[in-house]
Amino acid sequence: PDISTMTFLFTGDIEDAAMQFILKNGALSQNDIIKVPHHGSRSSLDADFLKRVFPRVAVFSAGKRNRYGHPHPRALAAYKGIGAAIYRTDQDGAVTVTVSPGGLNLKTFRESRLHKVQLSRLFGGEEISNIQKVFETPPDPY
In the 3-class helix/strand/coil scheme, how is 104-122 assigned residue by residue? EEEEEHHHHCCCCCCHHHC
Q: Taking the model in full, what pTM does it have?
A: 0.74
Q: For every one of its 142 residues, what pLDDT tens digit does the chain have, with 9 covering 90 and above?
A: 566 778 888 998 888 888 988 888 876 788 889 999 999 898 888 899 999 999 999 999 998 888 887 899 999 999 999 999 999 999 999 999 888 887 778 888 877 765 565 555 555 566 666 666 766 655 544 3
Which residues are CB-neighbours of 102 under 8 A, at least 6 positions away? 139, 140
N- to C-terminal Cα separation, the chain: 16
Predicted confidence at residue 63, as pLDDT, reads 87
